[in-house]
Structure 1
């Protein structure tokens, strides 16, 4: 019997014959997610797929972006093979949304009234959680809706939800969130036609994390993170400055999508007078 892994590998191998202008066009389609210098040294389709996998754009449970790219290239045969694999094996968007809804329903049903009040208090500094609005929230589902409206919760981002469960000592519910996250790890689809592309800023993040130290909070505020975000990050990583700064950058990137760019990072560093870090990022100083 064919395994999921072997079926995935077979579907990817169907792309191995793409060459010439189609292969060059395919690399251009990947330009917003893979650095130009990396694309220049990629010489065949399987190397390109491997790089997409490393960026979490493609995986056994996520071939939608590949299907869209094949359609764009006019490679309908390859798109059909991938679509057949997706239909049989891959976790689809509707699967994830259903599991996300069930997760929220489970948490909503498991919490006591006193725990709901504690969660509302913990959310007091989040955008939209005014005293008046919190008073009208009669269930955790109301709180979840508020978190979704504040861009702190969706099917691809449940870290704030897990932090709240930790703070009210409901580790059993944290485990439910963990299982959901493990199942849908990196299932967001930045490359699909319905979403904006997210730039690869991993090198820039590494530079900032190495140098910014305890000043990450000042920088995060300049990037328009609110105090509730900063508090949540410090709860999540209480003794690790590097993880605190990295988490703040990830939140900023997620909220700003394609508008989260290297140029914004550099200009914000200079506004904070962190010119040394900006110079390192621009290559003016060798790190």
Structure 2
């Protein structure tokens, strides 16, 4: 990848790092960078800029950062850096058109209704706390967008096994019956007209 592509990937990775992730990265590089410089760093891209200046990170030399990301428990970001992870965006999930349409309708209704219960639903759908923290960091002020990102992450993890029925069951398990009812109603209205 060229320098511009690397910078775009690094910015994406920086946006997905929680403050705890950043603290762990800073701890791991304290000998290479120095404590005084590290104290001034408050973002992932700030850290990446220093790693680039010190030649630990270049377009054709990403192994150092990739290893660090693995060490802090973020293999997803390491894969993104090395190019083996899928880029952000709609998943290539292998679903048939009907199920994809049902999931889109469910996502729309849930995003409108979920509010502050998004994390509870995420745990019920078995989305990892690391992923939930990443979503929260990227969308800290927009609950609707947070819910959309949560459901994208769930669909990405489930792939072709993602089913609307599982979403509805998870909503009911979280005592979000009104939202589950709204999803079922909207599905009936849209798909069986």
Q: TM-score, normalised by structure 1?
A: 0.38
CA–CA distance in structure 2, aligned partners of residues 203 and 229 of structure 1: 23
Q: Which one has the bigger helix percentage?
A: 2
> 1:197 corresponds to which residue?
95
Q: 2:65 aligns with which of 110, 134, 140?
A: 140
Report the more deviating stretch, 143-152 or 197-206: 143-152
Describe how 1:200-279 pairs up with structure 2 within 5 A.
Answer: 200=100, 201-279=103-181
- 2:24 matches 1:121: yes
CA–CA distance in structure 1, aligned partners of residues 118 and 79 of structure 2: 20
Describe how 1:39-54 pairs up with structure 2 within 5 A.
Answer: none
CA–CA distance in structure 2, aligned partners of residues 150 and 224 of structure 1: 19
Q: 1:152 to 1:262 in 2, by over 3 A?
A: farther
Q: Counterpart of 1:140 in 2: which secondary structure?
A: helix
Q: 1:156 to 1:273 in 2, by over 3 A?
A: same
Structure with larger Rg: 1
Verify the 8 A CA contact 1:151 1:255 in the aligned structure 2: no
> 2:87 corresponds to which residue?
157
Query: More relative contact order in 1 or in 2 (CA 8 Å, sep 6+)?
Result: 2
> 1:132 corresponds to which residue?
none
Alpha-carbon shift at residue 140 of structure 1 (Å): 1.1
What CA deviation, in whole Å up to 9, does each residue of 1:41-92 have, x standing for no partner? Answer: xxxxxxxxxxxxxxxxxxxxxxxxxxxxxxxxxxxxxxxxxxxxxxxxxxxx
CA–CA distance in structure 2, aligned partners of residues 148 and 258 of structure 1: 22
Alpha-carbon shift at residue 248 of structure 1 (Å): 0.7
Describe how 1:101-116 pairs up with structure 2 within 5 A.
Answer: 103=6
Alpha-carbon shift at residue 120 of structure 1 (Å): 7.0
CA–CA distance in structure 2, aligned partners of residues 150 and 264 of structure 1: 27
Which 5+ residue runs of structure 1 have no aligned equivalent?
Answer: 1-97, 108-117, 123-137, 159-184, 191-195
> 1:175 corresponds to which residue?
none
Alignment coverage as a number of residue pairs:
131
CA–CA distance in structure 1, aligned partners of residues 154 and 79 of structure 2: 11
Verify the 8 A CA contact 2:113 2:179 in the aligned structure 1: yes
CA–CA distance in structure 1, aligned partners of residues 157 and 74 of structure 2: 13
Superposition RMSD in Å: 3.6
Verify the 8 A CA contact 1:213 1:242 in the aligned structure 2: yes
CA–CA distance in structure 1, aligned partners of residues 79 and 23 of structure 2: 14
Alpha-carbon shift at residue 197 of structure 1 (Å): 3.1
Q: Counterpart of 2:146 in 1: which secondary structure?
A: helix
CA–CA distance in structure 2, aligned partners of residues 144 and 197 of structure 1: 31
CA–CA distance in structure 1, aligned partners of residues 110 and 127 of structure 2: 16
